[in-house]
Amino acid sequence: MSTQKSLAILSLSLLLLTSSLAMLAQQPTEPPHRPRGGLFSEEAPAGQPLSLGWFFLGLYVLVGLIFAGACAQQAVHKALSPIPWFFAGLLLNAVAYLVLLTRPPGDARQFPAGIPPGLHKVPETYEHVPCPCCGAYSHPTALRCPACGASMEPKLESEADRWRKQRPH
């Protein structure tokens, strides 16, 4: 579901970006006044309009940066190395993102120090469970009630415990 949302958002942003850049590339027929330079207010040099080749190169680089960031984020989510996928997204754009979506998840143990700070997996959210003594709600992995301190039987294994078990010692 989140992959479909991200693809929809990505395609919508590309559509908006392409249409806005196309409007910027259109040259007005008659400028209202001749532009002046910014520093000394002298006449600006008469330049050539933006060629179509440079416009499409700039558009390709911009779209490449968007897909590079999306590929790196998806690679971290799948426990794959984000650097090569960043450059694949930069060069191959949507093709690299689609290939990455078909890849199976990697092994998180390839990162010797764990996933780098700032590039972590968002933990899943589970429904809270009530304390048997006081009825206060707590996370299902809690060992003790945060309200009364009573001992609780965890309903699930915490992600931190699973990560510690997977880590090589």
- Structure confidence by residue, pLDDT tens digits, 56-66: 999 999 999 99
Q: Which string of DSSP letters, residue by residue, matches 27-91? A: PPSS-SS--B-SSS-PBPPP-PPPPHHHHHHHHHHHHHHHHHHHHHHHHHHTTS-HHHHHHHHHH
For the chain, the structural domain boundaries read 2-25+51-110, 123-169
Cβ atoms of 101 and 88 within 8 Å: the answer is no
Q: What is the pLDDT of residues 45-93, one digit of tens each?
A: 566 677 888 889 999 999 999 999 999 999 888 888 889 999 999 999 9
pLDDT digits (tens, 9 = 90+) for 89-122: 999 999 999 999 999 888 766 665 665 555 555 5
Task: Give residue for tokens 């006044």.
Answer: 33
Q: pLDDT for 4-55, tens place per residue? A: 677 677 777 777 767 766 666 665 555 556 555 556 565 655 666 778 888 8
Q: pLDDT value at position 52?
A: 84
